[in-house]
Chains A and B, each alone.
Chain A
Amino acid sequence: MRELSLHVLDVIQNAIEAGASKIEVRIEEDLERDWMTIEVADDGRGMSQEWVEKVLNPFTTTRKTRHVGLGLPLFAEAARRCGGDLSIQSKPGKGTRIKATFRHNHIDRAPLGDIPAALLAVLLSESPVDLEYLHKVGTHEFQFSSLEIRKELDDIPLTHPKVRGWLSQTLCEGEASLPSRRQTRPLTL
Protein backbone atom coordinates (compact mmCIF):
# COMPACT_ATOMS: atom_id res chain seq x y z
CA MET A 1 0.00 0.00 0.00
CA ARG A 2 1.44 3.32 -1.03
CA GLU A 3 -0.28 5.38 1.65
CA LEU A 4 -1.08 4.80 5.31
CA SER A 5 -4.62 5.99 4.65
CA LEU A 6 -5.13 2.86 2.53
CA HIS A 7 -4.22 0.72 5.55
CA VAL A 8 -6.69 2.73 7.62
CA LEU A 9 -9.38 2.09 5.03
CA ASP A 10 -8.49 -1.58 4.98
CA VAL A 11 -8.66 -2.03 8.75
CA ILE A 12 -12.01 -0.22 8.80
CA GLN A 13 -13.28 -2.60 6.14
CA ASN A 14 -12.29 -5.48 8.44
CA ALA A 15 -14.35 -3.86 11.18
CA ILE A 16 -17.34 -3.57 8.86
CA GLU A 17 -16.98 -7.23 7.89
CA ALA A 18 -16.94 -8.02 11.62
CA GLY A 19 -20.39 -6.47 11.91
CA ALA A 20 -19.31 -3.28 13.70
CA SER A 21 -21.82 -0.46 14.01
CA LYS A 22 -19.43 2.07 15.49
CA ILE A 23 -15.82 2.60 14.50
CA GLU A 24 -13.38 5.00 16.11
CA VAL A 25 -10.35 6.15 14.17
CA ARG A 26 -7.66 8.14 15.89
CA ILE A 27 -4.53 9.43 14.24
CA GLU A 28 -2.01 11.18 16.40
CA GLU A 29 1.10 12.87 15.12
CA ASP A 30 3.48 13.76 17.88
CA LEU A 31 6.14 15.71 16.05
CA GLU A 32 8.20 16.42 19.15
CA ARG A 33 8.59 12.82 20.19
CA ASP A 34 8.68 11.69 16.56
CA TRP A 35 5.78 9.22 16.72
CA MET A 36 2.77 8.64 14.60
CA THR A 37 0.01 6.50 16.05
CA ILE A 38 -2.98 5.13 14.18
CA GLU A 39 -5.73 3.46 16.17
CA VAL A 40 -8.90 1.86 14.90
CA ALA A 41 -11.40 0.51 17.42
CA ASP A 42 -14.67 -1.18 16.58
CA ASP A 43 -17.59 -2.82 18.37
CA GLY A 44 -17.77 -5.77 16.00
CA ARG A 45 -17.80 -9.43 16.92
CA GLY A 46 -14.16 -9.47 18.04
CA MET A 47 -11.70 -12.34 17.96
CA SER A 48 -10.60 -15.06 20.36
CA GLN A 49 -7.10 -14.82 21.82
CA GLU A 50 -6.10 -17.77 19.68
CA TRP A 51 -7.23 -15.96 16.53
CA VAL A 52 -5.50 -12.72 17.54
CA GLU A 53 -2.22 -14.64 17.65
CA LYS A 54 -2.79 -16.11 14.22
CA VAL A 55 -4.16 -13.10 12.42
CA LEU A 56 -0.81 -11.52 11.56
CA ASN A 57 0.09 -14.61 9.62
CA PRO A 58 -0.74 -13.91 5.96
CA PHE A 59 -2.09 -17.42 5.59
CA THR A 60 -4.91 -16.71 8.01
CA THR A 61 -8.29 -15.41 6.94
CA THR A 62 -11.96 -15.84 7.81
CA ARG A 63 -12.88 -15.78 4.17
CA LYS A 64 -14.03 -18.90 2.43
CA THR A 65 -12.95 -17.74 -0.99
CA ARG A 66 -9.22 -18.26 -0.54
CA HIS A 67 -6.58 -18.95 2.07
CA VAL A 68 -4.68 -15.72 2.37
CA GLY A 69 -5.51 -12.52 4.25
CA LEU A 70 -2.97 -9.79 3.71
CA GLY A 71 -4.51 -6.68 5.24
CA LEU A 72 -3.16 -6.83 8.80
CA PRO A 73 0.19 -8.49 7.95
CA LEU A 74 0.92 -5.68 5.48
CA PHE A 75 -0.03 -3.02 8.03
CA ALA A 76 2.14 -4.65 10.70
CA GLU A 77 5.06 -4.85 8.28
CA ALA A 78 4.67 -1.16 7.38
CA ALA A 79 4.80 -0.22 11.08
CA ARG A 80 7.75 -2.47 11.92
CA ARG A 81 9.94 -1.25 9.12
CA CYS A 82 9.48 2.28 10.50
CA GLY A 83 10.65 1.48 14.01
CA GLY A 84 7.10 0.99 15.26
CA ASP A 85 4.79 -1.93 15.83
CA LEU A 86 1.22 -3.12 15.53
CA SER A 87 -0.82 -4.43 18.43
CA ILE A 88 -4.23 -6.03 18.52
CA GLN A 89 -6.59 -6.14 21.47
CA SER A 90 -9.77 -8.06 20.96
CA LYS A 91 -12.57 -9.70 22.91
CA PRO A 92 -15.20 -11.94 21.38
CA GLY A 93 -18.52 -10.13 21.37
CA LYS A 94 -16.95 -6.82 22.42
CA GLY A 95 -14.83 -5.61 19.54
CA THR A 96 -11.31 -5.08 18.35
CA ARG A 97 -8.73 -2.35 18.73
CA ILE A 98 -5.79 -2.14 16.34
CA LYS A 99 -2.95 0.20 17.15
CA ALA A 100 -0.07 0.87 14.79
CA THR A 101 2.90 3.06 15.63
CA PHE A 102 5.49 4.59 13.33
CA ARG A 103 8.55 6.76 13.75
CA HIS A 104 7.09 9.92 12.28
CA ASN A 105 10.19 10.94 10.42
CA HIS A 106 11.33 7.48 9.41
CA ILE A 107 12.54 7.43 5.83
CA ASP A 108 10.36 4.41 5.03
CA ARG A 109 7.18 5.81 6.54
CA ALA A 110 4.64 6.16 3.75
CA PRO A 111 2.75 9.45 3.70
CA LEU A 112 -0.62 9.43 5.40
CA GLY A 113 -2.11 10.22 2.02
CA ASP A 114 -5.66 10.92 1.05
CA ILE A 115 -7.55 10.49 4.32
CA PRO A 116 -10.72 12.25 3.10
CA ALA A 117 -11.06 9.76 0.22
CA ALA A 118 -10.47 6.81 2.56
CA LEU A 119 -13.08 8.03 5.06
CA LEU A 120 -15.52 8.78 2.27
CA ALA A 121 -15.16 5.21 1.00
CA VAL A 122 -16.20 4.06 4.49
CA LEU A 123 -19.08 6.51 4.83
CA LEU A 124 -20.44 5.30 1.48
CA SER A 125 -20.33 1.71 2.68
CA GLU A 126 -23.31 -0.45 1.79
CA SER A 127 -23.68 -1.43 5.44
CA PRO A 128 -24.08 1.86 7.35
CA VAL A 129 -21.56 2.32 10.17
CA ASP A 130 -20.87 5.23 12.42
CA LEU A 131 -17.47 6.74 12.25
CA GLU A 132 -15.80 8.80 14.96
CA TYR A 133 -12.64 10.32 13.58
CA LEU A 134 -9.97 12.32 15.35
CA HIS A 135 -6.74 13.51 13.80
CA LYS A 136 -4.26 15.33 16.01
CA VAL A 137 -1.12 17.02 14.80
CA GLY A 138 0.69 18.50 17.78
CA THR A 139 -1.86 20.74 19.45
CA HIS A 140 -4.12 21.02 16.40
CA GLU A 141 -6.97 18.65 15.79
CA PHE A 142 -9.74 17.79 13.39
CA GLN A 143 -12.72 15.83 14.59
CA PHE A 144 -15.49 14.30 12.55
CA SER A 145 -18.50 12.32 13.72
CA SER A 146 -20.91 10.69 11.32
CA LEU A 147 -23.32 10.15 14.21
CA GLU A 148 -23.90 13.91 14.48
CA ILE A 149 -24.38 14.14 10.74
CA ARG A 150 -26.86 11.29 10.61
CA LYS A 151 -28.86 13.02 13.34
CA GLU A 152 -29.10 16.14 11.21
CA LEU A 153 -29.97 14.19 8.10
CA ASP A 154 -32.60 11.96 9.67
CA ASP A 155 -33.81 9.65 6.88
CA ILE A 156 -31.51 10.87 4.10
CA PRO A 157 -28.72 8.35 3.53
CA LEU A 158 -25.06 9.44 3.47
CA THR A 159 -24.84 8.02 -0.05
CA HIS A 160 -27.23 10.67 -1.34
CA PRO A 161 -25.34 12.60 -4.05
CA LYS A 162 -25.85 15.97 -2.37
CA VAL A 163 -24.76 14.71 1.03
CA ARG A 164 -21.77 13.00 -0.53
CA GLY A 165 -20.50 16.30 -1.92
CA TRP A 166 -20.87 17.92 1.46
CA LEU A 167 -19.04 15.08 3.22
CA SER A 168 -16.14 15.23 0.81
CA GLN A 169 -15.82 18.98 1.20
CA THR A 170 -16.04 18.89 5.01
CA LEU A 171 -13.37 16.18 5.26
CA CYS A 172 -11.02 17.93 2.84
CA GLU A 173 -11.37 21.27 4.63
CA GLY A 174 -10.83 19.65 8.02
CA GLU A 175 -7.67 17.82 6.99
CA ALA A 176 -6.35 20.89 5.19
CA SER A 177 -6.75 22.92 8.39
CA LEU A 178 -4.06 20.80 10.10
CA PRO A 179 -0.43 21.85 9.88
CA SER A 180 1.65 20.24 7.17
CA ARG A 181 2.84 16.90 8.40
CA ARG A 182 6.43 16.41 7.31
CA GLN A 183 8.91 18.21 9.47
CA THR A 184 12.00 19.72 8.03
CA ARG A 185 14.34 17.98 10.39
CA PRO A 186 16.61 15.00 9.75
CA LEU A 187 14.89 11.75 8.88
CA THR A 188 14.96 8.87 11.34
CA LEU A 189 16.88 5.99 9.81
Chain B
Amino acid sequence: MARLKNIEELKKIRQEAQKDLAVRTQTGTRIIIGMGTCGIAAGAREVMHAILRELDLRKIEAHVETVGCVGMCAKEPLVDIEQAGKSRVRYANISPEHVPRLIEEHLLKGNVIQEWAIGRLDARKIQ
Protein backbone atom coordinates (compact mmCIF):
# COMPACT_ATOMS: atom_id res chain seq x y z
CA MET B 1 0.00 0.00 0.00
CA ALA B 2 2.69 2.47 1.06
CA ARG B 3 4.60 1.54 -2.05
CA LEU B 4 1.73 2.44 -4.38
CA LYS B 5 1.23 5.73 -2.62
CA ASN B 6 4.89 6.50 -3.10
CA ILE B 7 4.77 5.77 -6.83
CA GLU B 8 1.81 8.12 -7.18
CA GLU B 9 3.84 10.81 -5.46
CA LEU B 10 6.72 10.13 -7.82
CA LYS B 11 4.49 10.72 -10.84
CA LYS B 12 3.45 14.07 -9.44
CA ILE B 13 7.05 14.99 -8.79
CA ARG B 14 7.91 14.16 -12.36
CA GLN B 15 5.29 16.53 -13.74
CA GLU B 16 6.47 19.35 -11.51
CA ALA B 17 10.10 18.64 -12.25
CA GLN B 18 9.67 18.67 -16.00
CA LYS B 19 8.53 22.27 -15.92
CA ASP B 20 11.64 23.65 -14.30
CA LEU B 21 14.27 21.21 -15.54
CA ALA B 22 15.35 23.20 -18.59
CA VAL B 23 15.74 26.36 -16.56
CA ARG B 24 17.79 24.68 -13.91
CA THR B 25 20.24 22.83 -16.13
CA GLN B 26 21.21 26.13 -17.70
CA THR B 27 21.51 28.26 -14.60
CA GLY B 28 21.85 25.60 -11.97
CA THR B 29 24.26 24.79 -9.23
CA ARG B 30 26.03 21.47 -8.74
CA ILE B 31 27.55 20.36 -5.49
CA ILE B 32 29.91 17.42 -5.90
CA ILE B 33 31.10 15.29 -3.00
CA GLY B 34 34.02 12.83 -3.08
CA MET B 35 32.75 9.40 -2.06
CA GLY B 36 35.73 7.06 -2.40
CA THR B 37 37.02 4.92 0.49
CA CYS B 38 38.97 7.96 1.70
CA GLY B 39 35.96 10.27 1.58
CA ILE B 40 33.66 7.75 3.24
CA ALA B 41 36.11 7.08 6.06
CA ALA B 42 36.54 10.82 6.59
CA GLY B 43 32.78 11.35 6.89
CA ALA B 44 31.72 12.34 3.36
CA ARG B 45 28.35 10.64 3.69
CA GLU B 46 27.53 12.72 6.77
CA VAL B 47 28.68 15.84 4.93
CA MET B 48 26.38 14.93 2.03
CA HIS B 49 23.54 14.51 4.49
CA ALA B 50 24.26 17.88 6.09
CA ILE B 51 24.34 19.54 2.67
CA LEU B 52 20.99 18.01 1.68
CA ARG B 53 19.49 19.13 4.97
CA GLU B 54 20.81 22.67 4.63
CA LEU B 55 19.53 22.95 1.05
CA ASP B 56 16.10 21.75 2.17
CA LEU B 57 16.06 24.12 5.09
CA ARG B 58 16.88 27.13 2.95
CA LYS B 59 14.78 25.88 0.04
CA ILE B 60 17.72 26.03 -2.37
CA GLU B 61 17.36 23.79 -5.39
CA ALA B 62 20.82 22.54 -6.32
CA HIS B 63 21.96 19.26 -7.82
CA VAL B 64 24.02 17.18 -5.43
CA GLU B 65 26.24 14.47 -6.91
CA THR B 66 28.80 12.03 -5.59
CA VAL B 67 32.05 11.01 -7.30
CA GLY B 68 34.83 8.52 -6.56
CA CYS B 69 38.31 9.27 -5.27
CA VAL B 70 40.04 12.18 -7.01
CA GLY B 71 43.40 11.53 -5.43
CA MET B 72 43.55 14.05 -2.61
CA CYS B 73 42.63 11.61 0.13
CA ALA B 74 44.34 13.51 2.93
CA LYS B 75 42.04 16.45 2.23
CA GLU B 76 38.76 14.53 2.28
CA PRO B 77 35.90 15.18 2.63
CA LEU B 78 36.15 17.23 -0.56
CA VAL B 79 33.22 19.32 -1.73
CA ASP B 80 33.17 21.06 -5.11
CA ILE B 81 30.70 23.80 -5.85
CA GLU B 82 29.99 24.68 -9.44
CA GLN B 83 27.63 27.44 -10.45
CA ALA B 84 26.76 27.93 -14.09
CA GLY B 85 29.07 30.41 -15.76
CA LYS B 86 31.47 30.48 -12.82
CA SER B 87 34.56 28.44 -12.09
CA ARG B 88 34.28 25.37 -9.92
CA VAL B 89 35.69 25.78 -6.44
CA ARG B 90 37.02 22.85 -4.43
CA TYR B 91 36.77 22.89 -0.65
CA ALA B 92 38.79 20.52 1.55
CA ASN B 93 38.36 18.87 4.96
CA ILE B 94 34.71 19.80 5.13
CA SER B 95 32.76 18.53 8.12
CA PRO B 96 28.99 18.74 8.70
CA GLU B 97 29.59 21.76 10.99
CA HIS B 98 31.13 23.68 8.08
CA VAL B 99 28.12 23.15 5.84
CA PRO B 100 25.82 26.02 6.95
CA ARG B 101 28.57 28.62 6.42
CA LEU B 102 29.57 27.02 3.11
CA ILE B 103 26.05 27.28 1.75
CA GLU B 104 25.48 30.75 3.17
CA GLU B 105 28.76 32.31 2.01
CA HIS B 106 29.32 30.57 -1.28
CA LEU B 107 25.86 29.89 -2.63
CA LEU B 108 23.88 32.77 -1.19
CA LYS B 109 26.42 35.58 -0.91
CA GLY B 110 28.65 34.43 -3.76
CA ASN B 111 31.92 34.69 -1.80
CA VAL B 112 34.56 31.99 -1.97
CA ILE B 113 35.64 31.03 1.55
CA GLN B 114 39.36 31.46 1.05
CA GLU B 115 40.58 29.58 4.11
CA TRP B 116 38.73 26.38 3.17
CA ALA B 117 39.14 26.48 -0.61
CA ILE B 118 42.07 24.59 -2.10
CA GLY B 119 41.52 25.03 -5.79
CA ARG B 120 39.60 26.46 -8.65
CA LEU B 121 38.83 24.75 -11.94
CA ASP B 122 38.13 26.77 -15.04
CA ALA B 123 34.45 26.54 -15.99
CA ARG B 124 35.25 25.81 -19.63
CA LYS B 125 37.54 22.90 -18.82
CA ILE B 126 34.87 20.94 -16.98
CA GLN B 127 32.63 19.33 -19.51
- Give the distance in Å from the alpha carbon of A9 to the alpha carbon of B55 in the complex: 23
Instruction: Find out whether the CB atom of A162 lies under 8 angstroms from the CB atom of B16.
Output: yes
A113 to B, closest residue via Cβ:
B45
- Give the distance in Å from the alpha carbon of A69 to the alpha carbon of B1 in the complex: 44
Instruction: Find out whether the CB atom of B41 lies under 8 angstroms from the CB atom of A125.
Output: no
**Inter-chain contact total with CB atoms closer than 8 Å:** 104
Cβ < 8 Å to B, chain A residues 141-189 = 149, 152-157, 159-166, 168-170, 173, 177
A107 at interface, CB cutoff 8 A: no
Residue numbers in B under 8 Å from A162 (CB-CB): 13, 16-17
A160 to B, closest residue via Cβ:
B17
Residue numbers in B under 8 Å from A169 (CB-CB): 6
Segment with Cβ contacts to A, from B31-39, B84-92, B97-105: B31-39
Instruction: Find out whether the CB atom of A160 lies under 8 angstroms from the CB atom of B10.
Output: no
Instruction: Find out whether the CB atom of B48 lies under 8 angstroms from the CB atom of A121.
Output: yes
B61 to A, closest residue via Cβ:
A161
A17 at interface, CB cutoff 8 A: yes
- Give the distance in Å from the alpha carbon of A165 to the alpha carbon of B10 in the complex: 10
Instruction: Find out whether the CB atom of B66 lies under 8 angstroms from the CB atom of A122.
Output: yes
Instruction: Find out whether the CB atom of B45 lies under 8 angstroms from the CB atom of A117.
Output: yes
B115 at interface, CB cutoff 8 A: no
Residue numbers in A under 8 Å from B63 (CB-CB): 157, 159-161
Count of interface residues, chain A, beta-carbon cutoff 8 Å: 43
B7 at interface, CB cutoff 8 A: yes
Residue numbers in A under 8 Å from B49 (CB-CB): 114, 117
A170 to B, closest residue via Cβ:
B6
Please tell me which one of the listed residues A114, A126, A153 contacts residue B45 in the complex, with CB atoms under 8 A apart: A114
Residues of chain B at the chain A interface (Cβ within 8 Å): 2, 6-7, 9-11, 13-14, 16-18, 21, 32-33, 35-37, 40-41, 44-46, 48-49, 52, 55-56, 61-69, 71, 73
The 6 tightest CB contacts between A and B, nearest first, are A65-B71, A71-B37, A161-B61, A126-B65, A156-B17, A159-B63
